[in-house]
A = this chain, B = another copy of it.
Amino acid sequence: MSEMKFPEWMADVQRRVEHALESRLPAGNIAPERLHQAMRYATLGGGKRVRPLLAFAAGELSGAPAARLEVIACALECIHVYSLVHDDMPCMDDDVLRRGKPTVHVQYDEATALLVGDALQTQAFDLLSAPQLFEDTAAQVKSIALLARASGSRGMAGGQAIDLASVGQSLSREELEFMHIHKTGALIRAAVMMGATAGNTDEATLAKLDHFGKCIGLLFQVVDDILDEVADTATLGKTAGKDAANDKPTYVSILGLSKARELAKELAAEAHATLTALNTSTRRLAEITDYIVSRHF
């Protein structure tokens, strides 16, 4: 793995995760068939798998076994996809396109989209609580706790609630940052931390990785806001310009495009500096940082 160039490594992890999700999500011919088919429709065959990439990158650093990282990656992706499915529903962002395909409530129906999100969230905890996944069950409990805390009302779901409340409001940069640290940042940070705790990582390294995770969580969102402003729908695979259309505050609307780009560069620099301070190989984490930035530069 360590010999591979980054694009090869990324493609390799993405393939592994796709395969792991294929085999670990309930099959489409198990009852209730339609629900299971819709769960697979939502999850398989798309996405950059950023959270799995981060878990694998941190996992290489911690020496975690690949089989365990695959399950952690699947759990992270189940949570991420559940949030997308619910976020796209008519009572939330009401979006029709996701990863270049009709959203779940369009392809199926609203009730199915609701249940798909619900069941994917549960699936994440089901996967993570599998017997023998960890030799050290205390570390397994910690991994579950990291995911739960990052996803709930004080993490991702809470960020969604703040996002909803902010429509049509003018936010300060601090308020916007608070929202994003929850909405997108918490799960990205958890991905790094779950990869690290899946193997052996000392407390000092964990603390630095946590800071790194915080930086790239924000970086990811700033880049996303820039892309939403400058890219077209075909490139994004989701509806472009929807934040502006929905009157949602973004880094671009608050800072302007050029200052948002500067902020992205600063965050990337801080992420790199945090990695450099670690006395261990952090090559893949550094490469992912560059990859996130390269999405728009």
Residues of A in contact with B (beta carbons under 8 Å apart)? 26, 30-32, 34-36, 39, 82, 86, 89, 91-92, 109-112, 114-115, 117-119, 121-123, 125-126, 128-131, 137-138, 140-142, 144-145, 147-149, 151-155, 157-158, 160-162, 164-165, 178
Residue in B34, B154, B157 whose CB lies within 8 Å of A118: B157
Chain B residue numbers with a CB within 8 Å of A115 are 153, 157, 160-161, 164
Shortest CB–CB separation between residue A286 and chain B, in angstroms?
Answer: 31
Residue in B131, B148, B162 whose CB lies within 8 Å of A129: B148
Shortest CB–CB separation between residue A131 and chain B, in angstroms?
Answer: 7
Q: Is the interface of A mostly helix, strand, loop or mixed?
A: helix
The distance in angstroms between the C-alpha atoms of A111 and B92, with both chains bound, is 6
Please tell me if the beta carbons of B26 and A153 are within 8 angstroms of each other in the complex.
Answer: yes
Q: Which partner residue on chain B sits nearest A125 by CB separation?
A: B148
Known: A114-B86, A129-B148. A119 touches B162 (CB 8 A): no
Shortest CB–CB separation between residue A256 and chain B, in angstroms?
Answer: 27
Known: A91-B111, A92-B114. A129 touches B141 (CB 8 A): yes
Chain B residue numbers with a CB within 8 Å of A26 are 153-154
Shortest CB–CB separation between residue A191 and chain B, in angstroms?
Answer: 16
Shortest CB–CB separation between residue A149 and chain B, in angstroms?
Answer: 6
Leading 5 A-B pairs by shortest Cβ distance: A122-B152, A91-B110, A129-B145, A126-B148, A137-B137
Residue picked from A122, A130, A152, A164, most chain B C-beta under 10 Å: A122
Chain B residue numbers with a CB within 8 Å of A114 are 86, 89, 91-92, 114
Known: A36-B153, A111-B91, A141-B131. A148 touches B160 (CB 8 A): no
Please tell me if the beta carbons of B140 and A141 are within 8 angstroms of each other in the complex.
Answer: yes
Chain B residue numbers with a CB within 8 Å of A129 are 141-142, 144-145, 148
Q: A126-B145, A137-B141 are in contact. List 15 more A-B contacts (CB 8 A).
A: A34-B161, A35-B157, A91-B114, A111-B164, A112-B161, A114-B114, A115-B161, A118-B118, A118-B121, A121-B122, A122-B152, A128-B144, A131-B142, A137-B138, A140-B141
Shortest CB–CB separation between residue A136 and chain B, in angstroms?
Answer: 8
Please tell me if the beta carbons of B92 and A158 are within 8 angstroms of each other in the complex.
Answer: no
Residue picked from A82, A138, A152, most chain B C-beta under 10 Å: A152
Please tell me if the beta carbons of A122 and B157 are within 8 angstroms of each other in the complex.
Answer: yes
The distance in angstroms between the C-alpha atoms of A276 and B32, with both chains bound, is 35
Chain B residue numbers with a CB within 8 Å of A125 are 125, 144, 147-148
Shortest CB–CB separation between residue A83 and chain B, in angstroms?
Answer: 8
9 contacts between A and B (CB under 8 A): A91-B114, A114-B114, A115-B153, A118-B157, A122-B151, A122-B152, A122-B153, A131-B142, A144-B144
